[in-house]
Amino acid sequence: LEDSEKIKIVMVSGMTTLWPDFEKNTFEELLKAIAGIKRTIAKSKPLIILTAPLHKSSEIKPIGGTALTHFGSVLVLIEDREKYIEYKLIQHPSLPERRLVKWIPLKPKRRLKISPKNTTLDNWV
C-alpha cells in the first residue's frame, strides 16, 4: 500500500479493538499502527476515517486517547439513540463545536387501507 499513489480513502473501523486488552504495552503497538498509516498516506494524501469506541471514563475521548485525537484533525462523536442519531463535532481546526440531530422516521402503528402517498383529495372525500 505504501507504494500506491491512487489511494483516495482509508477507512479503519474499530482502530483500538484490534487490541482487546488496551494497556500501556499495546499503546506502543497503536503508535506503530498509526505510523504505518502515515507512511501509507504520505504520497496520495487520502481522506482518512478511523473509528474507535469511547473510553469507559470519558464521554468524548476514544480508547487510545491523545494518540488518536492528535492523529486526526477532526473528532466527531456519533451516538445512535432509539429515536435519533446525534452527531457532535468535538474537534476541528477551523470550526467551532456543534451538534446535529437526525431523527429516525417512526413506523406507523397501524397500516392504512389507502396509502396516503400519491393520492388526491378525491380519495379522502
12-39: per-residue pLDDT in tens? 777 766 666 656 566 777 788 778 777 7
pLDDT, position 100: 92
pLDDT, position 74: 78
The three cell numbers of residue 6 are: 491512487
pLDDT, position 124: 54
Q: Which residues, 6 or more positions from 33, have their beta carbon under 8 angstroms from its beta carbon?
A: 15, 18
pLDDT, position 75: 78
pLDDT, position 4: 66
Q: Would you kindly state where each structural domain of the chain is located, as residue ranges?
A: 9-123
Could you tell me if 64 and 80 are in contact, meaning their C-beta atoms sit under 8 angstroms apart?
Answer: no
Q: Which residues, 6 or more positions from 63, have their beta carbon under 8 angstroms from its beta carbon?
A: 16, 22, 52, 53, 54, 55
69-113: per-residue pLDDT in tens? 667 777 788 888 889 999 988 878 888 999 999 998 887 777 766
Prediction pTM value: 0.56
